[in-house]
């Protein structure tokens, strides 16, 4: 059984693990899952999660009956309405695309899976845990901004462990 962890965000991050969680089979983020549009007056292009790109990433694994686990996110204190809408919308977009491909989807709150994995809201702690878990894939987690990859991978690992596989 292949498990896929999805960390919502813009852009969202997808990590595919082998049935035992020992091997990272694929990682999709950035331009693999989102389109980037330069808006007037902005220095950088803004990412927009793209359902067709997400489907293209997941489709090969749907044929293998992979299961998807998505972090169940909600509004956070101090987060604006626009940010909250994009963040939560990312979760539902990923769920809809995966379900549309006929994949089994599980959503889990950050507090549930992070408690079991002995993690906190500290993103660096998640990145360190991923580096320790997959030392042969240091390239995937070497930068501070790779915390989304780390969390998606650890989320999939949690699902493997929770399923008793």
Q: Which ranges in the chain belong to alpha helices (H)?
A: 51-62, 81-100, 110-116, 123-133, 138-141, 147-163
CATH of the domain at 79: 3.30.420.10
Residues of the chain with pLDDT > 90, as a percent, come to 75
- Considering its fold, how many domains does the chain have in total? 1
- The reported pLDDT for the residue numbered 84 is 62
Q: How far apart are CA 89 and CA 118, in angstroms?
A: 27
Mean pLDDT, rounded, for 92-121:
95
Task: Provide the residue range defining the domain that includes 149.
Answer: 3-163
| pTM: predicted TM-score of the whole model, two decimal places | 0.91
């Amino acid at each position: 059984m292949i498990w896929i962890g999805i960390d919502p965000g813009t852009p969202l991050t997808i990590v595919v693990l082998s049935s035992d969680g020992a091997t990272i089979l694929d990682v999709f983020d950035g331009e693999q899952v989102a389109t980037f549009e330069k808006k007037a007056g902005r220095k950088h292009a803004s990412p927009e999660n793209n359902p067709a790109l997400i489907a293209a990433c997941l489709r090969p694994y749907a044929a293998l009956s992979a299961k998807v686990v998505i972090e169940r996110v909600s509004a956070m204190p101090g987060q604006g309405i626009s940010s909250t809408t994009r963040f939560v919308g990312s979760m539902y977009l990923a769920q809809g695309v995966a379900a549309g491909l006929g994949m089994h989807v599980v959503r889990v709150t950050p507090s549930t899976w992070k408690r079991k994995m002995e993690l906190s809201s500290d993103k660096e702690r998640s990145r360190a845990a991923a580096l320790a878990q997959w030392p042969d894939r240091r390239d995937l987690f070497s930068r501070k901004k790779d915390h989304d990859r780390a969390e998606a991978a650890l989320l999939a690992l949690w699902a493997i462990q929770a399923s008793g596989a």
